[in-house]
Amino acid sequence: MHRICTAVGPKLPHETSTFSDRAVRGITCRPKAAVAAALWLVLLGATPRVCMAQSGEPIKPIPLEPQLDLRKVALGDRLFHDKRLSKDNSLSCASCHDLSKGGVDGLPSSIGIGGAKGPINAPTVFNSSLNFRQFWDGRAASLEEQVAGPVHNPKEMGSNWTEVLGKLAQDGPLVGEFKATYRDGLQTRNIQDAIAVFERSLTTPNSRIDKYLKGDQKALSPDELLGYQLFKAYGCVACQGVNIGGNMFQTFGVMGDYFEKRGNTTVADLGRYNVTKSEADKHVFKVPSLRNVALTAPYFHDGSAKTLNDAVDVMFKYQLGRPASAQDKKLIVKFLHTLTGEYKGRPLQRADSDAARQP
Ligand code: HEC
């Protein structure tokens, strides 16, 4: 059988990072752990993925400072918080992606204009620039393309570009800012561009795991370190992932029919199938990032897991097909809490709840 992940081996030529390999030396992947690899894909709704022997850590730290046009960042920030992007001026992007609450709304599924209940859970916008595609079903290839989705979605902002441009064009100072930033001024594509550039500024470096990966051996407590070692021994998450997920599609419910058990199947449950209409893509989703996962409950596309414990349970059951030992689960959840990063130099928080501090 394939080993899912081995911790030893030569450093690959393209690996230029400086963090220590020492942490992984001596950790081997037990064959039975191969199955458990899925766990990490789990939170993810993923299947085991064979990651052939590589050296170094499966997780890479987030680079400290993205090089961005600060004028565009500021304009995008403004637009991200501008309710005129919605039909009745009631919602901005930030309404569902609250930057003071981990970039999410904390609801199982989002509420759009007029109280419309959406079909799916809102992922965080933090680090979304590090995802290989956007949305649970990956239907947007880029952040620029993604912006049009919520603006037009009748259960989100319920508007369209003509309406939005009409409203923004009446705002002299904003029109001036567009002119100063883009040669052709206020245009749909420039709104999309500015918001996307702003979103690229929403990375959260300096989590404790990143500090550890960069060589600060004290950044993790002994329990958290054990949790990390279990995490790796159980599988290699998403090989070399900076975003610890966000880089592949996987089936949700490999070892059992999650959807049959949960009941009330929805169109959103079909996942990637909605994009490709291929049977093989039924219940396939983009593996979400685990970064800041302690702040982004409830979990999964259906928001069905209220806590990290619940999410880990579901993963073991439907991705691995076995129960988790309580101890392993506890340590892994502790490790997951080390993935919370910083935004603007301050640790990300979930202001409104205890979720960040609860397992
Ligand atoms: C009514 C709530 C709501 C509003 C308003 C909203 N979003 Fe979202 N956002 C969601 C939901 C729900 C999803 C997941 C939809 C899906 O995958 O089908 C999502 C997904 C995303 C994603 C993809 C993240 C990922 O990991 O796949 C990004 C990026 C994003 N939104 C940015 C924005 C921007 C920019 C705006 C404003 C133009 C916005 N959102 C407005 C609820 C909202």
Structure confidence at residue 175 (pLDDT): 98
- Over residues 81-130, the pLDDT tens digits come to 999 999 999 999 999 999 999 999 999 999 999 999 999 999 999 999 99
Structure confidence at residue 20 (pLDDT): 27
Of all atoms in ligand 1, which is nearest to the CA of residue 95? 5
Examine the pLDDT at 24 and tell me if it is beyond 50.
no
- Over residues 164-188, the pLDDT tens digits come to 999 999 999 999 999 999 999 999 9
Task: Report the amino acid identity of residue 329.
Answer: K
Phi, psi torsion values for 16, nearest 5 degrees: -105, 0
Q: Which two tokens stand for residue 335?
A: 């490790």
Weakest-pLDDT range from 41-45, 135-139, 182-186, 348-352: 41-45
For ligand 1, say whether the CB of 93 is within 6 Å of any of its atoms.
yes
Q: Of 43-52, 142-151, 342-351, which one has max mean pLDDT? A: 142-151
**Residue 65, by phi and psi: left (phi above 0), alpha (psi -120 to 50) or beta?**
beta
Indicate the SS3 state at residue 124.
Answer: coil
Phi, psi torsion values for 293, nearest 5 degrees: -65, -25
For ligand 1, say whether the CB of 270 is within 6 Å of any of its atoms.
no
**Domain end call among 200, 226, 251:** 200
Same domain? 237 vs 268: yes
Confidence of residue 16 (pLDDT cuts 50, 70, 90): very low
Domain count, the chain: 2
For residues 40-61, average pLDDT: 52
For ligand 1, say whether the CB of 85 is within 6 Å of any of its atoms.
yes
Average pLDDT taken over every residue of the chain: 83
Same domain? 139 vs 89: yes
The pick from 79, 110, 139, 300 for probing ligand 1's pocket by mutation, whose C-beta has the most ligand atoms within 8 angstroms, reads 110
Tell me, yes or no, whether 354 lies in a domain.
Answer: no
For ligand 1, say whether the CB of 147 is within 6 Å of any of its atoms.
yes
Examine the pLDDT at 21 and tell me if it is beyond 50.
no
Q: Give dist(CA 203, CA 200) in Å, integer.
A: 7
The owner of tokens 């030992």 is 325
Structure confidence at residue 240 (pLDDT): 56
Q: How far is the CA of 122 from the centre of ligand 1 (A)?
A: 6
The active-site residue, picked from 144, 156, 177, 224, is 156
Sign of CA dihedral 188, 192, 195, 197: negative
Same domain? 195 vs 268: no
- Over residues 251-305, the pLDDT tens digits come to 999 888 999 999 999 999 999 999 999 999 999 999 999 999 999 999 999 999 9
Structure confidence at residue 31 (pLDDT): 32
DSSP for 224-288, please give it. Answer: HHHHHHHHHHH--SSTTBSSSS-S-EEES-SSS-HHHHH----GGGGBTHHHH--GGGTTEEEPP
**Domain end call among 200, 224, 254:** 200
Instruction: Respond yes or no: is residue 199 known to be catalytic.
Output: no
Structure confidence at residue 53 (pLDDT): 31
Same domain? 169 vs 255: no
**Domain end call among 162, 183, 200:** 200
Question: What is the H or E stretch that residue 180 is in?
Answer: helix 172-181
> Structural domain of residue 319, as residue ranges?
22-62+205-347
Of all atoms in ligand 1, which is nearest to the CA of residue 153? 1
Weakest-pLDDT range from 11-25, 34-48, 58-72, 156-170: 11-25
Same domain? 191 vs 214: no
Q: Give dist(CA 338, CA 105) in Å, integer.
A: 21
Structure confidence at residue 54 (pLDDT): 35
Indicate the SS3 state at residue 74.
Answer: helix
Confidence (pTM): 0.86
Per the CB < 8 A criterion, the answer to whether 318 and 252 are in contact is yes
Structure confidence at residue 351 (pLDDT): 59
- Which of 346, 231, 339 lies closest to 292 in space, CA to CA? 339
Q: What is the CATH number of the domain that holds 324?
A: 1.10.760.10
Confidence of residue 332 (pLDDT cuts 50, 70, 90): very high
